[in-house]
Amino acid sequence: MTNPNTRRRVVRLLAPLAVLGLVTAACGSDDDTSSTNTDPVTTDAGGATTEPTTTSEMMDGPTIQIRGQDFSEAITIAEVYGQYLEAKGYPVEILTPAGFRTEALDGLQNGDFNLIVDYIGGTQAAVAPDAVSTAVADEIVANVTGPLDELGLTLLNYSPAVDGDAFVVRGDSEASTISDVAGLDYVLGGSSQCPERPQCLVGLEDPEIYGITFASFVTLEFGPLLGQALANNEVDGVIWNSTAPQITEQGFKVLEDDKGIFPAQNIAPILTTELLEAYGDQLVADINELSAMITTDDLLAWNTETDIEFRESDEVATEWLESKGLL
C-alpha cells in the first residue's frame, strides 16, 4: 500500500510539502469544508462547568500540524486525532507520515509540526534513557514530564489504548518466555532502531538481563514484513508490536517478558508549548477527551483494516469517529 501525495488532508496544506517517500497512508477524495468550533469550558462560582457550544466557524489560532510515524497504526492514529480536532473547529494539517520517534521528537523541537501521538515507554527511552523501565504508566509519565518540559514539549493524558513491545515467534517454537530463547541459536528480526533500544536488542543481549546470544540479527522494515519473514522461516523471532493482527491470523506466539524489559506503551499526545499556550485548557480538554475513548481493541481493529483488509487509514479513522458520534 502506498501513500500518494493526493491524500485528502495533505491537499489542504498551507505550504508545499516535500515528498518524503512511499509510506502506508491514507488516500481520499471528498473534502468537507464545514467545520465545528468548540467554545472554552467555563466554570461558575459554584464550580459547575458549562458545556461547550459548537459553531460553523473555524477557531482563530495557529494551525495544528500533526504527523504520524511511518507505520500503519501511527498513521491511522494521526488521522483520528487530526480529523477529530478539525471537526472541533481547529485549523488542522495532517502531514505526510515519515520517520519514527527520533524524527518525530526532532520535528517538534524544530517547528516542523506541533503535535504527535507517541507511545510513552518509547518516549521515556528517548528523553529519559537512564530511567528504569517500568510497566506502570504513571511512573513513566513522572519520568518524562521534566525532560519533555525542558524541550518545550508537553505530554497530555495517556490513553487506555496500549500497543506494547512483543517478542513474537512461530506457534511451534519450544519457547514460552523470552528467557527460553537463550541457547536456541535464534535469528532475530527487528527494525533498524532495534540494535540501539534497551527494550530490544540491547536488553535482550545484556548479560544482566536476558543475556541471549543470537545467531544473527536481520534488519526488517517495521510492520507486516516482520510477520512475512517469520512465516517464511527467514528469522526465528521478531520484535514487533502487540497489536499486529498477523500474530493471531498466522498463529504466532508472544513470549512472556519474564525479565520485564518492555515498558508500558500507552499512546499519548505530545504537543509544543507554543501550541498549548495558543489554545490553552480547551485544547487539552478536547484532546484528553478523545484519548480516553481509544482502546487497545480499537488499535487492533484499525490495524486489521489497514494491514489485512488493505483499507486506507483516513477512511478507517473517519468511520471510527463517526461510529463514536465525533464527526
The number of folded domains in the chain is 2
Between CA 143 and CA 137 the distance in angstroms is 10
* pLDDT for 32: 37
Q: Which residues pair with 92 in a beta bridge?
A: 64
CATH number at 240 reads 3.40.190.120
Instruction: Give domain status of residue 290, yes or no.
Output: yes
Q: Say if residue 171 is in the same domain as residue 152.
A: no
* pLDDT for 20: 32
* pLDDT for 210: 97
pTM: predicted TM-score of the whole model, two decimal places:
0.80
Q: Say if residue 171 is in the same domain as residue 312.
A: no
What is the per-residue pLDDT across 300-325, written as a single tens digit (0 to 9) for each?
999 999 999 999 999 999 999 999 99
What is the per-residue pLDDT across 112-153, written as a single tens digit (0 to 9) for each?
999 999 999 999 999 999 999 899 999 999 999 999 999 999
Q: Say if residue 211 is in the same domain as residue 275.
A: no
CATH number at 140 reads 3.40.190.10
Residue after which a domain boundary falls, among 231, 254, 277: 254
In 3D space, the residue among 213, 250, 209, 210 whose CA is nearest the CA of residue 233 turns out to be: 250
Three-state DSSP string of 43-108: ECCCCCEECCCEECCCCCCCCEEEECCCCHHHHHHHHHHHHHHHHCCCCEEEECCCCCHHHHHHHH
**Cell numbers standing for residue 251:** 498463529
* pLDDT for 5: 35
Residue 310 burial (10 A CB sphere; 0-12, 13-18, 19+) = exposed
Q: Say if residue 121 is in the same domain as residue 14.
A: yes
Q: Say if residue 155 is in the same domain as residue 171.
A: no
Q: Say if residue 118 is in the same domain as residue 147.
A: yes
* pLDDT for 42: 38
Please provide residue 254's backbone torsions phi and psi, each rounded to the nearest 5 degrees: -95, 125
Residue after which a domain boundary falls, among 230, 254, 278: 254
Q: Which domain holds residue 210?
A: 165-254
Count the neighbouring beta carbons within 10 Å of the beta carbon of residue 250: 15
* pLDDT for 49: 41
Residue 46 — pLDDT band, cuts 50, 70, 90? very low
